[in-house]
Amino acid sequence: MVPAQVTDDDYRLTVRKFQSVARRMIQGRDRDLKALDLTSIQADALVFFDGRPNCQINDLRDHLEVTHQAACGLVDRMRSKGLLDVAVSEEDARARTVSLSENGRRVCDELKAKGSDAGHRSLGCLSPEELIALSDMLDRIADYTASPAPDGHPADD
């Protein structure tokens, strides 16, 4: 048996399908976030702090891969919305620790519930085995696109 050959057209078609599904998923997420009065990066920050109480802003900066200034601004905006509590670190008075406020916890729980619902709507057509295989493939793609291409730029540029 001759192995199947993957053509450039096959790659392009697959990428377009992937982008189309991703676009629909992002549009659904944006609708859910608008109802919660959150931006996408604020939602990512809420979920980050959900499992990491009393984390420092530098940890958020590294997780989101943004500048320190951007992470500080994000935390300040979320604090003014009543989603985060910020305190001086007990270990280092120069650092601030960040945790979800009571309101932030409520919003985060609602965000996770909406995310689970969206996940079931988007991926409910897959068997458990297919879902695990898809997750593994997405991990491989993420790792591959995060590594530098031969020209020194990230593979997804």
pLDDT in tens, 13-55: 999 999 999 999 888 888 889 989 999 999 999 999 998 888 9
Residues with Cβ within 8 Å of residue 39, at least 6 apart in sequence: 33
Both 85 and 19 in a single domain?
A: yes
d(CA 100, CA 3): 53
Both 22 and 95 in a single domain?
A: yes
Tally of CB atoms within 10 A around 9? 8
In a domain, 5, yes or no: no
- In this prediction, residue 43 carries a pLDDT of 94
- In this prediction, residue 152 carries a pLDDT of 59
In the three-class reduction of DSSP (H, G, I as helix; E, B as strand; rest coil), residue 98 is classed as: strand
- Residues of the chain with pLDDT > 90, as a percent, come to 61
Both 33 and 110 in a single domain?
A: yes
Both 81 and 141 in a single domain?
A: no
d(CA 138, CA 135): 5
> Is residue 73 pLDDT above 60, yes or no?
yes
Both 121 and 132 in a single domain?
A: no
Both 18 and 87 in a single domain?
A: yes
- In this prediction, residue 138 carries a pLDDT of 93
List the domain range (segments joined by +) for residue 62: 13-125
For 125, the token pair is 């057509």
For 17, the token pair is 């399908």
Both 75 and 149 in a single domain?
A: no
Both 102 and 25 in a single domain?
A: yes
- In this prediction, residue 29 carries a pLDDT of 87
Both 101 and 29 in a single domain?
A: yes
In a domain, 132, yes or no: yes
Counted domains in the chain: 2
Both 112 and 132 in a single domain?
A: no
In a domain, 4, yes or no: no
The pLDDT of 94-113, averaged and rounded, is: 93
- In this prediction, residue 141 carries a pLDDT of 92
At position 107, the amino acid (one-letter code) is V
Both 98 and 151 in a single domain?
A: no
Q: pTM of this prediction?
A: 0.75
* 54 φψ region: left (φ > 0), alpha (ψ -120 to 50), beta (else): left
In a domain, 104, yes or no: yes
